[in-house]
């Protein structure tokens, strides 16, 4: 939950590890290649701070294959005093899909749709609730502050039951 976490939060714990480090060698006289930021995804609409509308097709695509839509992102379990407290988000690309969903590098996802993010089963229950209710609520810790992100799923036709 994605995630998530929207859908990112719903990423499976088996997300790929970070890519290996890349060493760049600057050649004399070579011009740097400009980096083009990703374009805004039209399936995501930022309504107000903390509230997003997301096309259901994007949500479903993300659940089916999170690595395809956020290839460099992964979740790392975080423990405090020997117990799992949530999942730390890494690999968020500026302007990328997860950033457009309001997620930031190093966010710790703790609750998705009222389910504690302490197990894969909790993510699966939250995912089922999202499909049933048409919304996803994600509670996370960001720089020592608790944040709430809400995602309303938008269906082009009648919502499946």
Tally of domains in the chain:
1
Write out pLDDT tens, residues 91-126. 999 999 999 999 999 999 999 888 888 777 877 887
Judge whether residue 154 has pLDDT over 70.
yes
Q: 79: pLDDT confidence band, cut at 50, 70 and 90?
A: very high
Residues in a beta bridge with 115? 112
Residue 28 lies in a domain: no
Which residues constitute the domain of residue 6? 2-11+39-154
Mean pLDDT to the nearest integer, 12-22? 40
Residue 159 lies in a domain: no
pTM metric for this prediction: 0.72
Residue 34 lies in a domain: no
Write out pLDDT tens, residues 38-66. 578 999 999 999 999 999 989 888 877 88
Residue 56 lies in a domain: yes
Residue 62 lies in a domain: yes
Number of helical (H) and strand (E) elements in the chain, helices listed first: 4, 10
The CATH number that applies at residue 136 is 2.30.42.10
- Centre a 10 Å sphere on the Cβ of residue 3 and count the other Cβ atoms it contains: 34
Residue 24 lies in a domain: no
Q: What is the rounded end-to-end Cα distance, in angstroms, of the chain?
A: 21
| 126 in Cβ contact with 9 (< 8 Å) | yes
């Amino acid at each position: 939950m994605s995630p998530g976490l929207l859908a990112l939060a719903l990423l499976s714990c088996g997300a790929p590890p970070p890519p290996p480090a890349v060493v760049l060698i600057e050649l004399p006289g070579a011009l740097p290649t400009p980096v083009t930021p990703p374009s805004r995804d039209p399936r995501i609409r930022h309504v107000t701070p903390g509230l997003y509308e997301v096309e259901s097709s994007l949500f479903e695509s993300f659940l089916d294959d999170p690595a395809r839509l956020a290839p460099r992102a992964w979740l790392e379990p975080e423990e405090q005093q020997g117990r799992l407290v949530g999942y730390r988000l890494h690999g968020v690309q500026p302007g990328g899909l997860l950033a457009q969903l309001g997620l930031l590098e190093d966010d710790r996802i703790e609750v998705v749709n009222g389910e504690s993010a302490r197990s894969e089963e909790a993510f699966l229950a939250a995912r089922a609730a999202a499909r049933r209710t048409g919304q996803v609520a994600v509670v996370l810790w960001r720089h020592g502050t608790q944040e709430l992100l809400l995602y309303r799923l938008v269906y082009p036709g009648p919502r499946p039951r």
